[in-house]
Amino acid sequence: MAKAVKIIIGFDPGLADTGFGVIRLDGPNTDCLEYGSLKTAAKVPLPERLASLYQQVKDLLAKYQPDIVGIEQLFFCRNVTTAFQVGQARGVVMLAIGQQAIPCLEFTPLQIKQAVAGYGQADKRQVQKMVQLILRLKEIPRPDDAADGLAAALCAAQSQATLLASSDKH
């Protein structure tokens, strides 16, 4: 029997800033436990930045021991260098999740917007406002990466609920 309370962490990967959001599902209630941005310093060599990000993700996973993780898929990019860096950061996040054997759901930005705002072409502000409303926060989560991490967590919550409901029918 699965435990009733579920902890879900969402990630919006980036090299300089990886947004994250931690939510708790308890029956019909969804609460925000923490959100923020995992940062790495621009002047530090890339291997050290990736190692720092990896350790920060491991620490966050250890702190909350999530039941599931949602992560945004790589989207874009005009700038190939930025795309490679984001891809490397995303890989480090995925490695930390995989080492803990935590189920991980990946979503496109369109899927996350659809889940949170009900419209796949919603703009950043609409998504942020919906995250604030759904989680009953006093203000829009800052920085933007943190709101995106919370949105990924909410998308994972919605997806896992749908998966459980469909498996109950079989």
Averaged pLDDT in 10-residue chunks for the chain of 170 residues = 77 96 93 97 96 98 97 76 86 97 94 92 92 96 95 93 53
**Catalytic residue chosen out of the listed positions 31, 145, 148, 168:** 145
**pTM for this entry:** 0.90
User: What pLDDT was estimated at residue 170?
Assistant: 45
Mention the CATH class of domain 5-168. Answer: alpha beta
- Structural contact between residues 152 and 97, judged by C-beta atoms closer than 8 angstroms: no
The Cβ of residue 47 has, within 10 Å, a number of other Cβ atoms equal to 9
Is 123 a known active-site residue? no
User: What pLDDT was estimated at residue 3?
Assistant: 55
Q: Please classify residue 39 by burial: count the beta carbons closer than 10 Å to its beta carbon, then call 0-12 exposed, 13-18 middle and 19+ buried.
A: middle
Q: What single-letter amino acid sits at 137?
A: L
Is 59 a known active-site residue? no
